[in-house]
Amino acid sequence: MIVYHGSNMIVDKPDVSHAFRDLDFGRGFYVTTVRDQAERWAKRKALYSKGSKPIVNEYEMSVDMDGLIVKDFGDDLDSWIDFVCECRDGNTAYRKYDIIIGKVANDKVFRVVDMYHSGIWDKARAIKEIRVYPGYDQFAFITQKAINQVLEFQRASEASNE
């Protein structure tokens, strides 16, 4: 399976030690199967790093996950939204996994999570709102062991200007 990582640099040797921020699934190296999504990530990253270009890194992702602890939320938005809120609160429970797979809190979904997290919407309303947004995906590699076992760099290219 081909996956993509958006950045402002070529990342031919992904390294979880360079993950500085807690995102949806905690600190890790994030990839997606959706190239357009990776391009948006790359453009955002380049925008905040003056003088850099948006780069989409492409990897072959092996299906051999033997020996790895994988959490796949699939369509379980009930557990997903709670997990994302916990990670945003700094909870480190994500560290018990090597790879976490699920939906991505793009700008629209991020708003829904905020409304739920702050108590403005209950979980049922938040989940109902999430279902109307496009289905993006993300794979968070939490451990270097998972990266080394599953990802193989293929190429990098500059994101399109469209």
**pLDDT tens profile 48-98:** 888 789 999 999 999 999 999 999 999 888 899 889 888 877 889 999 999
What's residue 161's pLDDT? Answer: 67
The CA-CA-CA angle for residues 93, 114, 83, to 5°, reads 20
For residues 78 and 69, what is the distance between their CA atoms, to the nearest angstrom? 21
For residues 112 and 130, what is the distance between their CA atoms, to the nearest angstrom? 7
pTM for the predicted model, two decimal places: 0.88
**pLDDT tens profile 106-151:** 666 778 888 888 899 998 988 888 764 567 899 999 999 999 999 9
